[in-house]
Structure 1
Amino acid sequence: MQHGGNKPKEQYVHSVFQSIAGKYDVMNDTLSFRRHKAWRKFTMKKMNVQPGQTALDVCCGTCDWTLALAEASETGHIEGLDFSSNMLEVGQRKVEKLGRKQQITLIQGNAMSLPYEDNSFDYVTIGFGLRNVPDIKQVLNEMKRVVKPGGKVVCLELSKPTWQPFKGLYYFYFRNMLPFIAKLLAKRYEQYKWLPDSLMMFPGRAELEQIFKETGLQNVTSFALTGGIAALHIGTKESQHV
């Protein structure tokens, strides 16, 4: 359930992503130390998407993961959902450029209330979006609702490093360097300050794994990536027994 206090967060985050859409891909490189493409490749290997399978990419942003899902599926329909029209415009241009317009549908929508029927997709993914939603459990419940029985809910997200001294250096970077890099790249100092703040509030890998389990997902696994600065979580929706 969304609390009243979440509304300002939702509006603020929306304004952040509307304003930085054009620089989002450059910033992903900066945020991940240029590792986000390798993380996505690792994730796709773990997912093992088969030709013809369908997927929903929640908080799809500029659609890099949406396009990777479409490529792996070859023929299956892929939906991308985001609340930012500016991000979707950037994504749509990529989709058209890569000739995936027939396979991918992008829609503006809210991750807290997905506009899909129950049991609709083989996979439901969220990449670098879960820490920006007003209510993590609500979004995971929605993702679980729309995935098919036996299907997978997959989250790739920045996380909290646990290995010292890397942990200390990483947080120093986030708190002190990132806003200034952001100012140079996007002239959006205040908006990018949101990113380290959101990371501090976001659950660590073990905590998020527990939230996945509390949502009712089965066989939950998680992987620390690049010293724990990112994490992959995968859970399976329980198959319906006849």
Structure 2
Amino acid sequence: MSKPEIVKPESTKPKEQFVQSVFESIAPKYDMMNDLLSFRMHKTWRKFTMQKMNVQQGDSALDVCCGTCDWTISIAEASKTGSVYGLDFSPNMLSVGQTKIDRDGWQDNITLKQGNAMDLPFEDNTFDYATIGFGLRNVPDLEKTLREMQRVVKPGGMVVCLELSKPTWQPFKGIYYFYFQNLLPLMGRVVAKSYEQYKWLPDSLIAFPGREELAGIFRNIGLQQVQAYPLTGGIAALHIGIKEKQHV
């Protein structure tokens, strides 16, 4: 099975140290906390996303901000024989992910790499899919990240973002924000002994664009056939865009 060529970025940009420290510290309990805090809904959202992606055998993919690699492995399971890369800036998260990959026997199909989502170390037009799950709100420049994802997918390839979003209707909106801003950090303190880290996670959503605004960014960078799906009352959203095919 051939693997995409990894190219060294032209420059190494400084990483956002605080964000990295958050994920380095919560990596061992990240999966448990995800299940607890989302009431396991993140698994349902990812299943829906995989249905919309319709990955075929042999398809290649790059999972950006792959974390502990649940989505990376799901893509490999669908592709079966394709080359799948996972990229994250947190060595501790990647270590947890590599353990899962080895456990499930995907080490020949999945390659993990530490790197910067805003400066992807891959050639243009390399992958059939570029995905990012619950990571876009954590990058310093989300548009640059999406442009990089668009760059590395093949013409006709798919850019996919699964991310937390902002409910728009009351009273659900008020209940959601109370939970996210008050109860979530408290649960982080009790279960993961990480109050400050889980206090930062809801803060990261404040400046993040809503569902329609993010769909507009997809269109503005040139992605085609953009689709935006609200999930569970708008708690999360799935965005899909297609890279324009080259005209001969």
TM-score (norm 1): 0.96
Give 1:3's aligned residue: none
1:59 to 56, 60, 65: 65
Q: CA deviation at 1:209?
A: 0.3
2:39 to 15, 33, 39: 33
Give 1:203's aligned residue: 209
Equivalent residue runs for 1:71-220 within 5 Å: 71-220=77-226
Give 1:237's aligned residue: 243
CA pair 7-77 structure 1, distance change in 2 beyond 3 A: closer
- SS state at 2:132 partner: strand
Q: What amino acid maps onto 1:162 in structure 2?
A: T
Q: CA deviation at 1:170?
A: 0.4
**Following the alignment from structure 1 to structure 2, what is the Cα–Cα distance between the partners of residues 178 and 209?**
27
CA pair 139-120 structure 1, distance change in 2 beyond 3 A: same
- SS state at 1:43 partner: helix
Q: What amino acid maps onto 1:224 in structure 2?
A: P
Give ranges in structure 1 of 5+ residues lacking alignment.
1-5
Cα RMSD, aligned residues only: 1.1
Q: What amino acid maps onto 1:132 in structure 2?
A: N
Kindly indicate whether the alpha-carbon contact (under 8 Å) linking 1:79 and 1:104 is maintained by their aligned counterparts in 2: yes
**Following the alignment from structure 2 to structure 1, what is the Cα–Cα distance between the partners of residues 181 and 131?**
28
1:49 to 22, 44, 55: 55
- SS state at 1:22 partner: helix
Kindly indicate whether the alpha-carbon contact (under 8 Å) linking 1:127 and 1:156 is maintained by their aligned counterparts in 2: yes
Q: CA deviation at 1:30?
A: 2.9
Count of matched residue positions in the alignment of Structure 1 and Structure 2? 236
- SS state at 2:226 partner: strand
CA deviation vs aligned residue, 1:46-89 (integer Å, no higher than 9, x gap): 00000000000000000000000000001000000000000000
- SS state at 1:116 partner: coil
Q: CA deviation at 1:7?
A: 6.1
Deviates more, 1:180-189 or 1:110-119: 180-189
Q: CA deviation at 1:31?
A: 3.2
- SS state at 2:163 partner: strand
**Following the alignment from structure 2 to structure 1, what is the Cα–Cα distance between the partners of residues 29 and 213?**
31
Give ranges in structure 2 of 5+ residues lacking alignment.
1-12
CA deviation vs aligned residue, 1:90-147 (integer Å, no higher than 9, x gap): 0000000000000000000000100000000000000000000000000000000000
CA deviation vs aligned residue, 1:136-169 (integer Å, no higher than 9, x gap): 0000000000000000000000000112111100
Give 1:14's aligned residue: 20
**Identity, % of aligned positions:** 70
- SS state at 1:38 partner: helix
Deviates more, 1:127-136 or 1:187-196: 187-196
**Following the alignment from structure 2 to structure 1, what is the Cα–Cα distance between the partners of residues 23 and 99?**
17
- SS state at 2:154 partner: strand
- SS state at 2:118 partner: coil
CA deviation vs aligned residue, 1:163-194 (integer Å, no higher than 9, x gap): 21111000000111111100011111111111
Q: What amino acid maps onto 2:79 in structure 1?
A: S
Q: What amino acid maps onto 1:142 in structure 2?
A: E
**Following the alignment from structure 1 to structure 2, what is the Cα–Cα distance between the partners of residues 120 and 186?**
38
Kindly indicate whether the alpha-carbon contact (under 8 Å) linking 1:7 and 1:134 is maintained by their aligned counterparts in 2: no
> Is the counterpart of residue 223 in structure 1 residue 229 in structure 2?
yes
Q: What amino acid maps onto 2:118 in structure 1?
A: M
